[in-house]
Amino acid sequence: MNWNEVLREIETVKSAEAAALVDGVQYDSRRVGSGDLFVAMRGGTADGNQFIDRAIAQGATAVLTDSSEEYDRLRREHAETGVALVQHGRRAMAEASSAVFGHPEQHLALSGVTGTNGKTTTAFLLEAMLRSIGRRCVLIGTIETHIAGEVRESPHTTPESRDVLELFAEGVKAGATEAVMEMSSHALEQERVWGLPVDVAIFTNLTQDHLDYHGTMENYFAAKAQLFQGVGTPPPRVAVVNVDDPYGKRIAEAADRSQLIRYGLDPGADYSAEEISMRAGETRFRLQTPHGAVDIRSLLTGRVNIYNLLAAAASAHARGLTLEQIAAAAESGAQVRGRFEVVPSKSGFTVVVDYAHTDDALRNLIVLARELVRECGGRVITLFGCGGDRDRTKRPRMGRAAGEGSDLVVLTSDNPRGEDPMAIIAEALAGVQETGKQCIVEEDRARAIETAIHSAREGDIVLLAGKGHEKVQVLRSGPVPFDDVAVAARVLKGME
């Protein structure tokens, strides 16, 4: 693509035309190759402008910069290089990437999911429903990325816009017509999804998380709400909103330019669940909608997954599926990794791995476990830890949530990152101690899992919370391989 053609699609402060050809877009100078456009922008921890010369040396034919000084220097020293000065680096990267990759976002009907809890499961469910009737999809989320059936690991919940658009382009080439994305508050705030036309926007809930980044709940909410205002595009055609959540009610009130679909268990929701029955490995309810009712059976477990099923069902209906098609897809849907994932065993008790890493998610997980053991009189044993270099204020709250609902708490390390694991544990332990519940402290997560499982007896349920699908533990020295499911399976096998 000619640099001058790219320029016509970017909002610039000033620019210089050149005879350069642009074959790709990169924001990491280490990935720059011949014919690439290098996007140099200031970030939270580094300034990409300091790598401009390296990018040019590696073959970059054009540069987008948010530095007027670098723009002037490039005009003097690299007259043959295409250059543009932009006010918003990430917006310009999105605009340039869209142009270079052939505007793939215009060929996909995009559903975006945001909220604190439930994003991953809702996205998986919706994509499964769309695929069940033969539609090819792109899925971008926390656990996996899917490109028209091909499964890849996901390094981030929501990648940078350049990477999203490359994935979209691959999907379109493979015949995809739908895309489903988890959209994190960081991604919305940092404009990683800028310029993506969202057809269906989904709001699951909002509870305290990421305040180390956003500072306040209002800022956190404002970041999420951007999805429903439009991210450099018109507002979504349809807004699917959990109106049982107080922040969801605020989203619904403000979504006056979208077709609003309310879901929830409280009266007044457009999509609701009645005649609910639950047991481990199965949830049943009657889905009530303005368009009729249908019986839903799912292998997912618990009240929280009723919300996820309602969100996915409402969104799938907005994308043209019938209620009967939705019910069939819900019944055939597979387990989502690390989301109430039952580890197979012959022990007589149940071991569950779940990603719950906020006090609200942990409380919901424990409530579900309590419901499942009520009839047999079993106990709830909860293992959890708190992440390092993240919001410290939620640590005692997570401790209280674990202590209030559990019979036994095992407090351990999660992803301590740059912090002292025992200092993190001490802050969470204060919350557990307020409840007076028995608590075993074991810093080593593998030994803690072994302790939790060996503490169980027939009829109990052991919850291994916090890491879910993750395959590494992030220590001060860096990530090391670690898988809660694999560790639990090894302990259980040793007990046979």
Q: Taking the CA of residue 170 as centre, how many other CA atoms within 13 Å lie in the half-sphere pointing to its CB? A: 17
The per-residue DSSP string of 33-80 comes to -TTEEEEE-B-SS-BGGGGHHHHHHTT--EEEES-HHHHHHHHHH-TT
- Average of per-residue pLDDT across 224-252: 95
Domain(s) labelled CATH 3.40.1190.10 in the chain stretch across 104-332
Q: At what angle do helices 323-332 and 119-132 cross, to 10 degrees?
A: 120
Give the DSSP H/E element, type plus range, for residue 339: none
Q: Place 399 in a pLDDT band, splitting at 50, 70 and 90.
A: very high
Classify strands 198-203 and 272-279 as parallel, antiparallel or unpaired: unpaired
Take residue 378 and report the two structure tokens written for it: 């079993």
- For residues 203 and 225, what is the distance between their CA atoms, to the nearest angstrom? 9
Q: Which of 97-111, 207-221, 454-468 has the lowest mean pLDDT?
A: 207-221
Q: How many CB atoms lie within 10 A of CB 239?
A: 25
Q: Write the pLDDT tens digit of every residue in 285-303.
A: 999 999 999 999 998 888 8
Burial of 106 (0-12, 13-18, 19+ CB in 10 A): exposed
pLDDT at 220: 87
| 218 CB-near residues (< 8 Å, 6+ apart) | none
Domain(s) labelled CATH 3.90.190.20 in the chain stretch across 341-494
Q: Which of 219-223, 274-278, 300-304, 310-314 has the lowest mean pLDDT?
A: 300-304
pLDDT at 178: 98
Q: Taking the CA of residue 220 as centre, how many other CA atoms within 13 Å lie in the half-sphere pointing to its CB? A: 17
> Is the pLDDT confidence value at 213 over 70?
no
Assigned superfamily of 341-494: Mur ligase, C-terminal domain (3.90.190.20)
Matching CATH number, 104-332, of 3.40.1190.10, 3.20.20.105, 3.90.1300.10, 3.40.50.300: 3.40.1190.10
pLDDT at 158: 75
pLDDT at 217: 84
**pTM (two decimals):** 0.81
> Is the pLDDT confidence value at 84 over 90?
yes
Amino acid letter, residue 255 = A
> Minimal CA–CA distance to 108: which of 147, 143, 155, 141?
147
3 state SS of 194: coil
For 3-100, CATH gives 3.40.1390.10
- For residues 269 and 146, what is the distance between their CA atoms, to the nearest angstrom? 32
